[in-house]
Amino acid sequence: MTALDAQTDSISITDDDAPAERQGSTPIERPKRATPLQVFREMPIVIKLSTIWLLLVFGGAIYAKIDTVLLNDALPLQNPNLQTNNFNPATGEFGDGEPNESWSSAHWLGTDTIARDTFARIVHGAWVSLIIAMVSAGFGVVVGGFFGSLVGFVRGRTETVTMAAMDVILAFPALILLLAMVSIFEVRSLTVIALVIGFLSIPAYTRVARAGSLAVSQREFVLAARAIGTKPMKILFREVIPNVLPTVLSYAMVAGAFVIVVEGSLSFLGLSVQLPTATWGNMINQARGNLKVNFAQVFWPSMALVLTVLSLNSVGDWLQKRAAHRGSAL
């Protein structure tokens, strides 16, 4: 597709030649699975930085959750919902915070319109994005990945019916369907939003998995397994699914970027997880009435959102190319 692709392809040919030379004497070895550290070393610098950012977001979200749920705010991160200028009954004094402060050592990214710490809210907001991306990927990979692999392998009427059902869901403009679905729920908790987005993620994954499964099911090792009378279910789980999985998993990153934007949009419209829970989208929404006074309160959560989406897209693209390249070596 691009010049970069063409380059990696030409490199891959020389790479793949190595096992082919050995073909005469020893059986062809499957390419060894690289450890995460080896994969990381292979990455170009931009992809490395993106990966580091994603790990930071991931770690930050977990850290914030452990802090509030398990350790009762004992770790050094401020309470995301504490209005720092509030009267504190324990000390009998007002807090030292001010609304719309700019960055300082006490509040790294300043405070919002009601004097809550922006940095703490961004770190806590990462949890919502993380859960949305994980649940959507979980539903997509498990349900979509399974059905896609199944129908691409067995074909026939099962395939026609399944894909027709998926096409109906994909026939809706995504955001409109999502809006209609979330408005059904009177209480919009993180669980509800994650489940709805997860459910709506299934069709796209099914398509990806089906395409992979159609190709894999034609391969020699599947034909060979059929020829020696292996049970179809065993072929599906032993041969087809393991070979479809890398493609589906690398799709999960790009899809994760998409659902994080979708949740951000929903939050921005005030139709996602309810306040005061911090999400990047609702932080942007709450601060946007105040652009003249404190643009920073829109800027920082926007940066967190854009960097995360950009990183997921870049790493996902890179992994997809790598998976395709590996697939051709198989």
Partner 1 sequence: MAKIIAARLLRLLATLFAVTFISFMMTKALPGDPAVAILGQDGIQNEELLLELRAELGLDEPIPVQYVTWLGNAVRGDLGESYINRGQSVAGTIGQRFPVTLQLALMAIIIALLLAIPIGVIGAYRQGKWQDQASSAGVQVALSVPNFVTGIFLIWLFAVKLEWLPASNWNRISDKGVIANLKTAILPATALALTQMAIFSRLVRSDMIATLQENFILSARAKGLSDRFILFRHALRPSSLSVATLVGINFGALLGGTVIIETLFAIPGLGFRLINAISQRDILVIQGITVFIATGYVIINTVVDLFYSVLDPRIRRS
Which distant-in-sequence residues (6+ apart) come within 8 Å of 150 by Cβ? Answer: 158, 213, 236
Q: Which is nearer to partner 1, 71 or 176 (CB)?
A: 176
Question: Which residues partner with 87 through β-bridges?
Answer: 94
Footprint on residues 251-310 left by partner 1 (CB under 8 A):
257, 261, 264-265, 268-271, 281, 284, 288, 291-292, 295, 298, 302, 305-306, 309-310
Total chain residues near partner 1 (CB under 8 A): 40
Amino acid identity for residue 106 in this structure: A
* Residues 276, 272: Cα–Cα separation, whole Å: 11
Q: Which of 167, 189, 223, 330 touches partner 1 (CB under 8 A)?
A: 167
* Residues 240, 147: Cα–Cα separation, whole Å: 12
Q: Quote the least distance from Cβ 148 to partner 1, whole Å.
A: 20
Q: Which of 52, 168, 223, 275 touches partner 1 (CB under 8 A)?
A: 168
* Residues 72, 196: Cα–Cα separation, whole Å: 30
Q: Which of 1, 13, 45, 90 touches partner 1 (CB under 8 A)?
A: 1
Q: Which is nearer to partner 1, 76 or 173 (CB)?
A: 173
Three-state SS at 87: strand
Which helix (H) or strand (E) element contains residue 88? Answer: strand 87-88
* Residues 100, 47: Cα–Cα separation, whole Å: 35
* Residues 14, 82: Cα–Cα separation, whole Å: 59
- Tokens of residue 188, six digits: 């919009």
Residue 231 within binding range of partner 1, rule CB under 8 A = no
Stretch in the footprint of partner 1 (CB under 8 A) among 65-73, 131-139, 171-179, 218-226: 171-179
Contact positions vs partner 1 (CB under 8 A) = 1-3, 167-168, 171-177, 179-181, 183-184, 186, 257, 261, 264-265, 268-271, 281, 284, 288, 291-292, 295, 298, 302, 305-306, 309-310, 313-314
